[in-house]
A and B are shown apart, each in its own frame.
Chain A
Amino acid sequence: DGGITQSPKYLFRKEGQNVTLSCEQNLNHDAMYWYRQDPGQGLRLIYYSQIVNDFQKGDIAEGYSVSREKKESFPLTVTSAQKNPTAFYLCASTPDREGGNTIYFGEGSWLTVV
């Protein structure tokens, strides 16, 4: 079935470490997104990419980095510069950047700093 696969589901990070969250989609979508979700808050956009080899910062990009070397893949690295990384991370995609598209989400990754 077509969809978005995020891995790992649960990840623990030590202080000072970088970690990378994987996101793969087989929907042939051009646009991909990374959101952060904290309890009691809506989704906040970290980065988005509308096409391969191109990406832009969202509202809370500091302490995060991404790459888009392949259409199917949009990994997110949470760097040691991110001071409060414990959160639920959601990868998403749309066919293109046009407004009104249904956003398809992965099942999310939980990141905890220990």
Chain B
Amino acid sequence: AQSVTQPDIHITVSEGASLELRCNYSYGATPYLFWYVQSPGQGLQLLLKYFSGDTLVQGIKGFEAEFKRSQSSFNLRKPSVHWSDAAEYFCAVGAKDSNYQLIWGAGTKLIIKP
């Protein structure tokens, strides 16, 4: 079955520390991969996406993600987090054919310690 797993429900990181949020997927075809961020009570905003080519993808707000086909992973990283990064982060997997078939992870809530 197709699925997306974000193993960490919550992650707490000190401001200025590095961050890695995990995303593992199970998908039959070549996946399109996304990371979205959601501030409390708001809609979601795209951070970055991967279709093909270079497996290290740069996004907005200093985030990057690396696609590892052998591990079925698409982990999100940031070298130094800011208090404003506190939010919930969602990984999603989709197909080339259509956006309505996106499969969403359950999200990881990022908490920043001062």
Contacts and interface: CB of A to CB of B under 8 A. Distances in A.
Contact of B51 (A41, A90, A100): A100
Interface in A57-109: 58, 88, 90, 92, 94, 97-103, 105-108
Nearest to B33: A100
B4 interface: yes
A19 interface: no
A42 interface: yes
How large, as a class, is the contact surface on chain B?
Answer: 20 to 34
Nearest to B41: A108
B44 A105 contact: yes
B84 interface: no
Nearest to B96: A99
B99 A94 contact: yes
Contacts, number: 74
Contacts of A94: 99
Interface string A38-61: 001111110010000000101000
Contacts of B98: 97-99
Nearest 5 Cβ contacts at the A-B interface: A42-B104, A105-B43, A99-B96, A48-B100, A43-B104
Interface of A: 4, 31, 33, 40-45, 48, 56, 58, 88, 90, 92, 94, 97-103, 105-108, 110
12 contacts: A31-B100, A43-B102, A45-B100, A88-B41, A98-B96, A98-B97, A99-B98, A99-B99, A100-B49, A103-B36, A105-B43, A105-B44
